[in-house]
Chains A and B, each alone.
Chain A
Amino acid sequence: MTDILPQVRTAEPAAKDRAQPFPTVRELRPATTATGTRRRLGPGKAVPFARLTGPVLVVLIWWAASATGYLDPRILSGPGAVASTAADLIKSGRLQSNVAVSLQRAGLGLLFGVLAGVLLAVAAGLSRVGEYLLDGTLQVKRAIPSLALLPLMILWLGIGEEMKVTLIALGVTVVVYINTYASLTGIDRRYVELGESLDLSRLQFIRKVVVPGALPGFFVGLRLAVTASWLGLVVVEQVNATKGLGYMMFQAQLYAQSDVIIVGLVVYGVFGFVSDALVRAAERRVLSWRRTLAD
Chain B
Amino acid sequence: MATHTGGLTAPRPAVRAAAVRTTRLVRSFGDRDVLKGIDLTLGQGEFTALLGRSGSGKSTLLRAVARLDHGVAGSGELHVPERVSLSFQDSRLLPWLRVLDNVVLGVRGRDAKERGAKALAEVGLEGRERSWPHELSGGEQQRAALARALVRDPELLLADEPFGALDALTRIRMHDLLRELYERHRPAVLLVTHDVDEAVELADRVLVLEDGRIAVDLAVDLPTPRSRRDPRFQEYRDTLLAALGVHQPDGSADPVHPDPQPADLPAPGGRPLKDKDPHDPQD
Residues of chain A touching chain B, judged by Cβ–Cβ distance below 8 Å, are: 190-191, 193-200, 204, 208-209, 212-213, 215, 287, 289-291
Q: Are B105 and A198 in contact (CB under 8 A)?
A: yes
Q: Are B95 and A197 in contact (CB under 8 A)?
A: no
Residues of B within 8 A of A215 (CB): 96
How far apart sit A215 and B94, CA to CA, in the bound complex (Å)? 13
Q: Are A199 and B106 in contact (CB under 8 A)?
A: yes
Q: Are A208 and B68 in contact (CB under 8 A)?
A: no
Q: Are A197 and B68 in contact (CB under 8 A)?
A: yes
Residues of B within 8 A of A194 (CB): 88, 92, 94
How far apart sit A289 and B85, CA to CA, in the bound complex (Å)? 26
Residues of B within 8 A of A197 (CB): 66, 68, 85-86
B132 on the interface (CB 8 Å rule)?
A: yes
Residues of chain B touching chain A, judged by Cβ–Cβ distance below 8 Å, are: 66, 68, 85-86, 88, 90, 92, 94-97, 105-106, 132-134, 148, 152
Of the A-B pairs whose beta carbons lie under 8 Å apart in the complex, a sample of 14, sorted by A's number, is A190-B88, A194-B88, A194-B94, A195-B106, A197-B66, A197-B68, A197-B85, A198-B152, A200-B105, A200-B106, A208-B106, A212-B96, A289-B132, A289-B133
How would you classify the secondary structure of chain A's contact residues: helix, strand, loop or mixed?
helix
Q: Are B105 and A208 in contact (CB under 8 A)?
A: yes
- Give 7 new A-B contacts, CB below 8 A, not counting A190-B92, A198-B152, A291-B134: A190-B88, A195-B106, A200-B105, A204-B106, A212-B97, A289-B95, A289-B96
Residues of A within 8 A of B134 (CB): 289, 291
How far apart sit A72 and B68, CA to CA, in the bound complex (Å)? 73
Q: Are A290 and B95 in contact (CB under 8 A)?
A: yes
Q: Are A193 and B68 in contact (CB under 8 A)?
A: yes
Q: Are B92 and A208 in contact (CB under 8 A)?
A: no
Residues of A within 8 A of B94 (CB): 191, 194, 208-209, 212
How far apart sit A196 and B90, CA to CA, in the bound complex (Å)? 16
How far apart sit A209 and B96, CA to CA, in the bound complex (Å)? 9
Residues of B within 8 A of A195 (CB): 106
In the complex, the chain B residue whose C-beta lies closest to that of A198 is B106
In the complex, the chain A residue whose C-beta lies closest to that of B89 is A190
Residues of A within 8 A of B96 (CB): 212-213, 215, 287, 289
B176 to chain A, nearest CB (A): 25
A30 to chain B, nearest CB (A): 35
In the complex, the chain B residue whose C-beta lies closest to that of A195 is B106
In the complex, the chain A residue whose C-beta lies closest to that of B97 is A208
How far apart sit A205 and B66, CA to CA, in the bound complex (Å)? 18
How far apart sit A190 and B94, CA to CA, in the bound complex (Å)? 10
Residues of A within 8 A of B68 (CB): 193, 196-197
10 A-B pairs with the lowest CB-CB distances in the bound complex, closest first: A198-B106, A212-B96, A197-B86, A200-B106, A289-B96, A194-B92, A289-B132, A289-B95, A198-B105, A196-B68
How far apart sit A209 and B151, CA to CA, in the bound complex (Å)? 19
Residues of B within 8 A of A199 (CB): 106
Residues of A within 8 A of B97 (CB): 208, 212, 289
Residues of A within 8 A of B66 (CB): 197
In the complex, the chain A residue whose C-beta lies closest to that of B90 is A190
Residues of B within 8 A of A212 (CB): 94, 96-97
Residues of A within 8 A of B90 (CB): 190
Residues of A within 8 A of B133 (CB): 289
In the complex, the chain A residue whose C-beta lies closest to that of B133 is A289
A5 to chain B, nearest CB (A): 17
How far apart sit A105 and B132, CA to CA, in the bound complex (Å)? 39
In the complex, the chain A residue whose C-beta lies closest to that of B145 is A194
- The listed residue with most A CB atoms (<10 A of its CB), out of B96, B106, B134, is B96
In the complex, the chain A residue whose C-beta lies closest to that of B107 is A198
A229 to chain B, nearest CB (A): 27
How far apart sit A200 and B94, CA to CA, in the bound complex (Å)? 14
In the complex, the chain A residue whose C-beta lies closest to that of B92 is A194
- The listed residue with most A CB atoms (<10 A of its CB), out of B86, B90, B94, is B94
- The listed residue with most B CB atoms (<10 A of its CB), out of A197, A209, A291, is A197
How far apart sit A115 and B103, CA to CA, in the bound complex (Å)? 31
A208 to chain B, nearest CB (A): 6
In the complex, the chain A residue whose C-beta lies closest to that of B132 is A289
In the complex, the chain B residue whose C-beta lies closest to that of A209 is B94
Residues of A within 8 A of B88 (CB): 190, 194
A196 to chain B, nearest CB (A): 6
How far apart sit A213 and B97, CA to CA, in the bound complex (Å)? 11
B190 to chain A, nearest CB (A): 14
How far apart sit A194 and B94, CA to CA, in the bound complex (Å)? 9
B160 to chain A, nearest CB (A): 10
- The listed residue with most B CB atoms (<10 A of its CB), out of A194, A196, A215, is A194
How far apart sit A290 and B106, CA to CA, in the bound complex (Å)? 23
How far apart sit A88 and B244, CA to CA, in the bound complex (Å)? 88
B106 to chain A, nearest CB (A): 4
In the complex, the chain B residue whose C-beta lies closest to that of A201 is B106
Residues of A within 8 A of B92 (CB): 190-191, 194
How far apart sit A265 and B86, CA to CA, in the bound complex (Å)? 58
B225 to chain A, nearest CB (A): 30
Residues of B within 8 A of A287 (CB): 96
How far apart sit A213 and B94, CA to CA, in the bound complex (Å)? 9
How far apart sit A264 and B67, CA to CA, in the bound complex (Å)? 62
